[in-house]
Structure 1
Amino acid sequence: MISQSGPQRYISDAKAYDQLPNFISELGVTKVLFLHGTKSLAAAKPYLPDFGTNVAVEDVLFNGECSYEEIDRVANIAAQKGTEMVIALGGGKVLDTAKSVTTGTHMYLVLMPTLASNCAPWSALSVHYKENGEHINHEIYKETANLMLLNPEVILNSPIDYFVAGIADTLAKFYESELIFEDLPEEQFTIALTISRQMANNCRDVLLRDSIQAVEDMKAGRMTHTWRNVAETIIVMAGTVGGWGDSYARSTGAHSVHDALTLFPQTSHLLHGAKVGYGILVQLVIENHYDHIKELLPLYRTLGVPTNFHELNLDGISDEDIEKIAYEATTEEKTMNLIPLPITAQTVKDAMMKLETITAGVQQSA
């Protein structure tokens, strides 16, 4: 097991970006590649400093998908320009692309998230997709970012749906790891795993307690302690779960269901975390944790996290397509297989069908 706790340096402050010119200067960097999306740049621009008078900046617009094609494109630009540092500004896919570009190279990496939608700013891994949005894989790296800068004011003004997706994605940190931790013998619990499990528990506790209020605060543009606590739970605390726990505490069933759903264009409008949120419910049915489902459903309905085929935009889905989702969620390379239970495609299909009944309001007994 390899633990990587997070970025080498982390700053969360309204003036966090102001640290960037000194950081570049201290490292003697003169050639920077600045990777960003259009919306992320617009959101952050009022806070961005000049990178330095002696710094040549190659401005690169992100194409929207963390695909191998995009990684190669950005890497080629970096090589042609002799880039010494990549600065990535935006959501998880922008940051994951930058991680894929810099890993194993001499280039420094700076991550500047503009959304609280997942733990990509903290984690040492990238999730890769095809150009059409279908999930391919995730790769874990031996390196973490040199610097992560978080400006809460930028995050506060980001779209609410990304924040809600981040809440759902972060809840998975607990529900995907709980059974694995419960199954581990006490003598296998290292300090790293103890930290990971505690952080997973904290993710659940903070989000179940504070998510609804945090969303209301964000809608009202209020920079409250509750909102900031939830935002940093999504980005930082969530990242420490897998960072310390490695394969014991990364994705399992919920993310496998997400990955399978990306094969269906009807779900493409849904964010990563929204589909993961649905996957949590499927996993909980598989585990017979109906008490957790009962606890989560009111929160899901208040926040608008999908709970069934209708809310996934899969009305009228055929039996064949349900079987396709179930099969794709359980293929050999999927993390569904890390759950310490016997699971087949039929298990997942049955769980999805039972979830349909539960969310239709029919009482179920465990």
Structure 2
Amino acid sequence: MTMNLTLRPAPQEYLCQEGAYAQLPGKLAERFIKKVLILHGENAYRVAAPFLPEFGNIEVITVQFNGECSDIEITRLLTLFKAAQADAIIGLGGGKVMDTAKAVGFRSGYVPVILLPTMASNCAAWTPLSVLYTEDGSSTGFEVYAQQTALLLVEPRVVIDSPIAFFIAGIADTLAKWYEADAILSQVEQPSLALDLCRYAAQQCHDIPLALAQQAVTDMRDKNPSYAWLKVMETNIMAGGLVGGFGDDYGRTAAAHPIHDALTARTETHVFLHGFKVAYGVLVQLALEDKWSEITKLAPFYEQFKLPQTLADLNLSELNDDALLTIAQRACAPGESIHFLASPVTPERVVDTIKALESFQQQAN
């Protein structure tokens, strides 16, 4: 497969502190924005409202997100955005809201995109891409944008009140960045400086969660914005995005995310958050790489946060070989990043590996 290395490291401006939202009017004025559309999640606006400022002379239009970053939803919002003749779009909510706002901004002709994530469940607020889904929640791939987000504001007081399950999903998704990037970067004999920075960011995606996630989750339950919680929260949002920002194809995904994408075709998995399905994909990738000792090493971490380790943990215990092959064929479709692994991967090999992983986990328990 052809590997790209175009650097899009970060949003143009990033602020994470109490009172971050209060700077919105000034930041919009600096960008000559006079009318803005706010796309928000169902509960996000209510949660964020106490921290949002008065916008003064800036006209604000609010629109509720319909739930999926799909072509249908993007088209609906694009029509509303153009009819309103807005100068910019603000995404307020979770990862799919972030991705939809970015897609609308791109398809509107690269208007400024401002993102206000209300949870730390992934790096969507950082990355210049959108993961796309069908209306029923099946992943259809992603599109990468040439322009970064204009402004990213994180208000810790909002994020700490978000559901803990989303925070844990973010931790799992962040951890995957290390394993996927390492699988690719280990094949590069003479990495550029950009790839060195990519590897450093990926290493933080491993080291920080393993060291601080337990304390961070405890502190989040206590509504305590401690050092540990802030560090893990920013790692979820920032570090994962930096891996792809500096590494492009070398640091974005390997096998774990294609396994996730294939799993989304099974409606039984729709009750599980993105990061939980990616966590299972990490184990499949490690098994494909014959890194069984690493799976054993991760087991306590997975058990602590109730991350899926078997098909049964994903409501898929009844899958037969044909169903497994369908999942594997989708994960191994031409152009998928699973083919970035060092050894060739076929659908049949993925099926055999999933079965081997099932046996390994049964023996471990």
TM surpasses 0.5 = yes
**Counterparts of 1:323 and 1:28 in 2: how far apart (Å)?**
53
SS at match of 2:125: coil
Structure 1 residue 46 displacement after superposition:
1.1
Q: Does 1:63 align with 2:66?
A: yes
Q: Does 1:125 align with 2:140?
A: no
When the two structures are superposed, what TM-score results if normalisation uses the length of structure 2?
Answer: 0.97
Structure 1 residue 101 displacement after superposition:
0.8
Map 1:95-106; keep pairs closer than 5 Å: 95-103=98-106, 105-106=109-110
Q: 1:24, 1:51 within 8 Å by CA — same for their partners in 2?
A: no
- Aligned with residue 147 of structure 1, among 141, 151, 155: 151
**Counterparts of 1:283 and 1:239 in 2: how far apart (Å)?**
20
**2:205 corresponds to which residue?**
203
**1:289 corresponds to which residue?**
291
Moved more, 93-102 or 215-224: 215-224
Render the CA deviation track for 1:101-155: whole Å, top value 9, x for unaligned. 1126252110000111100000000000000000001111101111000011111
Name segments (4+ residues, structure 1) moved above 2 Å: none
Q: 2:183, 2:254 within 8 Å by CA — same for their partners in 1?
A: no
**Counterparts of 1:210 and 1:358 in 2: how far apart (Å)?**
28
**1:31 corresponds to which residue?**
35
RMSD: 1.1
Structure 1 residue 335 displacement after superposition:
1.4
Q: Report sequence identity in percent.
A: 40
**Counterparts of 1:244 and 1:260 in 2: how far apart (Å)?**
26
Q: Does 1:87 align with 2:98?
A: no
Q: Does 1:163 align with 2:186?
A: no
**1:40 corresponds to which residue?**
44
**1:74 corresponds to which residue?**
77
**Counterparts of 1:357 and 1:51 in 2: how far apart (Å)?**
58
Q: 2:184, 2:254 within 8 Å by CA — same for their partners in 1?
A: no
Residue 354 to residue 9, structure 1, CA distance change in 2 (3 Å)? same
When the two structures are superposed, what TM-score results if normalisation uses the length of structure 1?
Answer: 0.96
Structure 2: tracts of 5 or more residues without a match:
none
SS at match of 2:141: strand
Structure 1 residue 28 displacement after superposition:
2.4
**2:222 corresponds to which residue?**
220
**Counterparts of 2:258 and 2:125 in 1: how far apart (Å)?**
21
Render the CA deviation track for 1:288-320: whole Å, top value 9, x for unaligned. 111211111110111011111111011222221
Structure 1 residue 5 displacement after superposition:
0.9
SS at match of 2:11: coil
**Counterparts of 1:4 and 1:338 in 2: how far apart (Å)?**
21
**Counterparts of 1:40 and 1:314 in 2: how far apart (Å)?**
32
**Counterparts of 1:7 and 1:121 in 2: how far apart (Å)?**
9
**Counterparts of 1:162 and 1:83 in 2: how far apart (Å)?**
31
**1:115 corresponds to which residue?**
119
**Counterparts of 1:262 and 1:4 in 2: how far apart (Å)?**
28
Q: 2:262, 2:331 within 8 Å by CA — same for their partners in 1?
A: yes
* Number of residue pairs matched by the alignment: 360
Q: 1:83, 1:107 within 8 Å by CA — same for their partners in 2?
A: no
Q: 2:181, 2:243 within 8 Å by CA — same for their partners in 1?
A: no
Structure 1: tracts of 5 or more residues without a match:
none
- Aligned with residue 8 of structure 2, among 4, 11, 23: 4
